[in-house]
Homo-oligomer: A and B are copies of this chain.
């Protein structure tokens, strides 16, 4: 198991895997420290569940035949660690992306990303498959739909639409499969017949769904 973030949607599932199933958790020192500070994760028996520290940029192999390299992407700390004035677009160990390879093909997993600077576009450009943060279509869609006051940016997620959005910023990635993941229930691309779904499809994106499988 590789954790890319300490937010609840990334770690709460660990509490339903107990007990007595051996596995390994790979996460940054920062994310592991969050697990350690929350005693409830003590249900993961240390005798069975090994916790290994990810060093950013250093390749590791959680499964035979696959190597993983983690790197920081713009993001923020978990909601419950925010404090009064959180920074929502920082580079550190809070939010990471994964480059996964079998030696021949490359997959990027980027479920949370607050911004897409040029270096990130360059980084992703050798990917055969990119799974990218598809939380919101529009930065203000939660306010518009009356479901919350926060923008996508405030939650640490770049929108799909707009000049700085992932559709435009990653349009140059034409030689790979692009899949939106981590999609909020306010995002209209979840509606198969929506104009937004048509637009992301026209840009070559797939909207992830349960059970999706890829062969590279």
Contact = CB atoms under 8 A, between A and B. Distances in A.
B12 A8 contact: no
Contacts of A12: 12, 15-16, 40
Copies of this chain present in the complex amount to 2
Nearest to A80: B42
A79 B37 contact: no
Contact of A38 (B16, B18, B39, B79): B39
A80 to B, nearest CB: 3
A39 B80 contact: yes
Contacts of A105: none
3 closest residue pairs by CB, A with B: A42-B80, A12-B15, A38-B38
Interface of A: 8, 11-12, 15-16, 18-20, 34, 37-43, 78-81, 147-148
